[in-house]
Amino acid sequence: MTSTRIDYRWIATFAVLVAFAIPWFLWGDDRVFAGLPLWLWWHIGWMILTAIVFHLFTRQAWDRGIIGGTQ
C-alpha cells in the first residue's frame, strides 16, 4: 500500500474516532447498566478504543510527518 493511502486511512480512522466521541444518539436516554448511565459506559469504552488506536498509530505511523520524520 502506498504511503498516501496509509495516510488517508489514518486520517479517516481519527475522523471516525472524533465523530463518535460524543454519543449524540444517547442524549436523553436514561438507561442504566451496572449502576452507571449508558452514555458514561459509551465514554469509557470509547476512551479505551481510542487509546488502543493511538497505541497502534504510535507503533506504525508516528514518523509520518508528526515529529519531523521522513516520509
Determine the residue type at 64.
R
Q: How many domains is the chain built from? A: 1
DSSP 18-55: HHTSS-GGGTT---EETTEEHHHHHHHHHHHHHHHHHH
**Domain housing 44:** 32-62
Task: Report yes or no on 10 lying in a domain.
Answer: no
Q: What is the pTM of this model?
A: 0.75
pLDDT in tens, 28-42: 888 999 999 999 999
Task: Report yes or no on 18 lying in a domain.
Answer: no
Task: Report yes or no on 57 lying in a domain.
Answer: yes
Q: Which residues of the chain have pLDDT under 50?
A: 69
